[in-house]
């Protein structure tokens, strides 16, 4: 195909003038719940948005309450689910009544997959100490101190170290002294007391265990990084601190690093439910400033309900077996991992850069949303909160437990089995899966290759994924072999391998699934002019900063990033056209500022989905999609062609020619379109994120440079897209997902 024909394919001259496109929410005033349907549904495809806004509300009935007792008081360690009569067990315990120990000992090497012994392989003695510091062997959980073998967490030995509860103490007895943590081998001693090298330790022995060492004196010269566990903070990592539990246990329980310990008579994953016959008690959230600033008590838990009616969809959030979510949070040993937010010293909430944060973020949003219902009989959907990304990244391979079902194999093998187990668990404990064959169940897939490897047993369900790959005959295209879902793995538990569980389905079905934006915290796009930061000239013609495959195989990015990077270097695009393409060694400066100055932003696959769609849209930069056969985030919902450009991978050599030929009128039209939809690509409806976003917007608006830029934008030399002036809690990504789910209700029946 000739370049001229290609240009006709990619570029459509705008028939409207920029002055003729007036429906810009930044210019039309505040965007809020009372804004017209036409404005709120700008650039949408179909009627999903207007149908949601125009629906007839349904009565809001008081929540049902369970009263099924749990035998044995859950062994004084778990919490009773009064709906089912089963105990939810925290890390360290499992089984009926939480009476079976489930250890995660600190080990020095993994078992081989051929080892049929189901028990963890412990290399610590009965006193919780490593048997031989000099013995070869490595896992991140190896501990040269005292091991908390419920969590696989290492603590100091010595005066400020851990003192476990006596062996004959009742179940649930806390340690006599928790001690100071030693988070990882980088902070553990590099030698024994007599100078023999340990296996993997990095810190001089004297700093840790010397007479003035961290584990021996209250004010030591050396101190670790205090990156975890999350519920310990302060200068020396020994001060009690809040930890993340989704929904903050509704103010009716205490968070044990991800697992809610509910107050007497309260139950559920987030302690939102109250046993039948007991009066409701005030939540502690309103009177606890660091909780009140980020969450609220679930409206579904209030009696009487907060209003007479509410909108559909109504969503029932499963209280799953804790191994599939809460224990994943307990087993993580880095605060900023696995969650969209976490607490720092002094109970300060930080919003995590964890790009898979939609997993915990959507879970927490649904828990505190008015769309949550405790009555499964009135539910339109059932949400399954499985934390697969948490398993795959910080939890798996840290210790020799948990695994699904053998040590070794690909990471996705473990995730597949985890999801398969979760589905079977639902089927065993609830009747709702069989009722509609799972069509009204929702699963989230933040993995790099999305739901390509999902078990085929859940293919009828709704999938929220970051990867909109549409080809039917697909194989893994990752350059990271641990995530290659095409490669099988045989173990004693699965002598046939695991790939037969996932074969025969597409990665994403646009008829029932949705490609959703990845998690980006508010500070990630704080300098965006769309948030009121000073609007700067778009002097960078084409921008990309990230991994350009310098040390990767050509499988990575399908070779696209590598080709564009090499062309930019070979032909000196930086000097000739102010094209910035490269990694952190090549492109310097504040990332948000650079995006805010860029006209076009490259969106090319990495090992799967690309985070660059959100980075571009959130900064008003026109996305240039170079990913064949893949839907953009929210592509089925919005007119994405009005604010983005798509170029086939085969024509990537012409990218600069194509972009230079885009007429100024078309560029202006796309920028205006970005200003109308960008807010739907950010997650801002949770109370804390909305508050943070409002503070950023207010700070930006107070900047004299912002006022100058705003005045300039109103003059003849307008800068687009214009600043967004609406309520960040309205029509964000969470809300967009909810509105789309409403349109899917008939298809699940």
Q: How far apart are CA 562 and CA 551, in angstroms?
A: 10
Higher confidence at residue 110 or residue 181?
181
**Mean of pLDDT values over 382-408:** 94
pLDDT given at position 68: 96
Q: Calculate the alpha carbon distances from 53 to 32, 34, 149, 372, 738 in Å.
A: 12, 10, 51, 18, 11
Which one-letter DSSP state was computed for residue 326? Answer: H
pLDDT of residue 713: 55
Where does the pLDDT of residue 701 fall: very low under 50, low under 70, confident under 90, or very high at 90 and above? confident
710 versus 653: which is more confidently predicted?
653
- Cβ count near 604 (within 10 Å): 25
pLDDT tens by residue, 431-488: 999 999 999 999 999 999 999 999 999 999 999 999 999 999 999 999 999 999 999 9
Average pLDDT, the chain: 91
Encode pLDDT of 232-282 as tens digits: 999 999 999 999 999 999 999 999 999 999 999 999 999 999 999 999 999
Average pLDDT over residues 697-703: 84
Q: Pull the structure tokens for residue 420.
A: 């398969």
DSSP count for the chain of H helices, then E strands: 19, 28
Cβ-Cβ contacts under 8 Å for 419 (sequence gap 6 or more): 386, 388, 443, 454, 455, 458
Residue 705 has pLDDT above 80, yes or no: no
Return the closest-CA partner of residue 119 out of 138, 104, 131.
Answer: 104
Phi-psi region of 19 (alpha: psi -120 to 50; beta: other; left: phi over 0): alpha
The domain locations on the chain are 37-55+527-727, 314-515
**From CA 682, how far away is CA 592, in angstroms rounded?**
15
Cα-based distances in Å from 387 to 294, 298, 415, 454:
21, 21, 9, 14
* Token output for 658: 């194509």
DSSP-assigned letter for residue 110: P
| pLDDT value of position 27 | 41
pLDDT tens-digit series, residues 94-130: 999 999 999 999 987 666 655 555 555 567 888 999 9
Query: CATH top-level class for 37-55+527-727?
Result: alpha beta
pLDDT tens digits along 413-423: 999 999 999 99
**pTM of structure:** 0.93
pLDDT of residue 5: 28
Taking a C-beta distance cutoff of 8 angstroms, is the pair 208, 188 a contact?
Answer: yes
Q: Of the given ranges (6-15, 396-405, 505-514), which has the lowest mean pLDDT?
A: 6-15
pLDDT, tens digit, for every residue of 285-327? 999 999 999 999 999 999 999 999 999 999 999 999 999 999 9
How far apart CA 250 and CA 270 sit, in angstroms, is 6
pLDDT above 50 for 22: no
Query: Residue 34: what pLDDT?
Result: 79
Averaged pLDDT, 723-739 = 90
Lowest mean pLDDT among 386-390, 421-425, 533-537, 658-662: 533-537
């Amino acid at each position: 195909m000739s370049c001229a024909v290609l240009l006709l394919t990619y570029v459509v001259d705008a028939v409207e003038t920029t002055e003729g496109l007036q429906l810009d929410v930044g210019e039309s005033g505040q965007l809020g719940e009372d804004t017209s349907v036409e404005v709120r549904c700008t650039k949408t495809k179909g009627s999903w948005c207007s149908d949601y806004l125009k629906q007839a509300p349904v009565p809001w009935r008081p929540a049902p309450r369970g009263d099924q007792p749990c035998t044995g008081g859950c062994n004084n360690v778990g919490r009773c689910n009064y709906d089912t009569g089963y105990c939810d067990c925290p890390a360290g315990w499992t089984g009926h009544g939480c009476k079976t120990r489930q250890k995660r000992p600190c080990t020095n090497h993994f078992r081989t997959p051929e080892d049929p012994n189901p028990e963890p392989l412990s290399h610590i003695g009965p006193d919780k100490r490593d048997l031989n510091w000099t013995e070869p062997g490595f896992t991140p959980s190896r501990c040269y101190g005292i091991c908390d073998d419920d969590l696989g967490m290492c603590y100091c030995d010595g005066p400020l170290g851990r003192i476990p509860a006596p062996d004959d103490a009742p179940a649930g007895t806390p340690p006599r002294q928790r001690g100071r943590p030693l988070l990882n081998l980088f902070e553990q001693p590099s030698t024994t007391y007599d100078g023999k090298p340990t296996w993997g330790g990095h810190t001089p022995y004297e700093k840790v265990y010397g007479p003035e060492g961290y584990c021996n004196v209250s004010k030591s010269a050396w101190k670790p990084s205090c990156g975890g566990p999350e519920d310990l903070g302060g200068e020396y990592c020994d001060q009690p601190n809040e930890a993340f539990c989704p929904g903050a246990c509704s103010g009716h329980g205490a968070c044990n690093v991800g697992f809610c310990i509910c107050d007497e008579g309260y139950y559920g994953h987030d302690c939102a439910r109250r046993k039948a016959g007991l009066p409701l008690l005030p939540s502690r959230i309103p009177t606890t400033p660091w909780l009140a600033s980020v969450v609220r008590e679930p409206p579904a838990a209030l009696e009487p309900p907060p209003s007479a009616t509410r909108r559909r969809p109504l969503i029932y959030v499963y209280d799953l077996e804790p191994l599939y979510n809460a224990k994943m949070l307990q087993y993580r040993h880095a605060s900023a991992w696995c969650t969209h937010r976490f607490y720092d010293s002094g109970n300060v909430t930080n919003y995590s850069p964890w790009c898979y944060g939609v997993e915990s973020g959507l879970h927490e949003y649904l828990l505190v949303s008015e769309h949550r219902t405790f009555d499964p009989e009135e539910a339109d959907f059932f949400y399954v909160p499985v934390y697969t990304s948490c398993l795959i990244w910080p939890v798996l391979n840290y210790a020799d437990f948990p695994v699904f079902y053998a040590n070794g194999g690909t990471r996705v093998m473990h995730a597949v089995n985890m999801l398969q187990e979760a589905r079977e668990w639902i089927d065993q404990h609830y009747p709702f899966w069989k009722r509609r064959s799972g069509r009204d169940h929702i699963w989230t897939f933040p993995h790099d290759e999305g739901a390509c490897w999902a078990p085929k047993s859940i293919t009828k369900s709704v999938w929220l994924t970051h990867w909109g790959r549409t080809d039917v005959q697909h194989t893994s295209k990752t350059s990271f072999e641990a995530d290659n879902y095409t490669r099988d793995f045989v173990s004693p538990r699965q002598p046939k391998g695991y790939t037969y569980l996932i074969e025969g389905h597409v990665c994403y079905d646009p008829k029932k699934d949705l490609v959703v934006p990845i998690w980006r915290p508010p500070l990630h796009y704080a300098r965006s002019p769309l948030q009121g930061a000073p609007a700067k000239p778009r002097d960078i013609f084409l921008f990309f900063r990230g991994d350009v495959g310098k040390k990767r195989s050509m499988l990575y990015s399908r070779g696209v990033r590598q080709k564009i990077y090499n062309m930019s270097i070979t032909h000196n695009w930086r000097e000739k056209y102010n094209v910035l393409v490269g990694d952190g060694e090549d492109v310097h400066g504040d990332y948000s500022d650079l995006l805010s100055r860029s006209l076009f932003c490259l969106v090319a696959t990495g090992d799967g989905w690309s985070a660059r769609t959100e980075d571009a849209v959130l900064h008003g930069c026109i996305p240039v999609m170079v990913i064949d056969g893949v839907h953009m985030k929210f592509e089925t919902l919005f007119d994405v062609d009005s604010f983005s450009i798509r170029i086939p991978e085969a024509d990537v050599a012409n990218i600069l020619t194509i972009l230079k030929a885009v007429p100024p009128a078309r560029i202006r039209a796309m920028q205006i379109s970005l200003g109308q939809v960008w807010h739907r690509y950010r997650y801002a409806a949770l109370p804390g994120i909305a508050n943070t976003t409002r503070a950023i917007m207010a700070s930006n608006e107070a900047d004299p440079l912002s006022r100058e830029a705003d005045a300039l934008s109103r003059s003849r030399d307008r800068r687009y897209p214009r600043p967004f002036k609406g309520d960040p809690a309205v029509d964000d990504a969470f809300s967009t997902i909810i509105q789309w789910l409403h349109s899917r209700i008939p298809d699940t029946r």
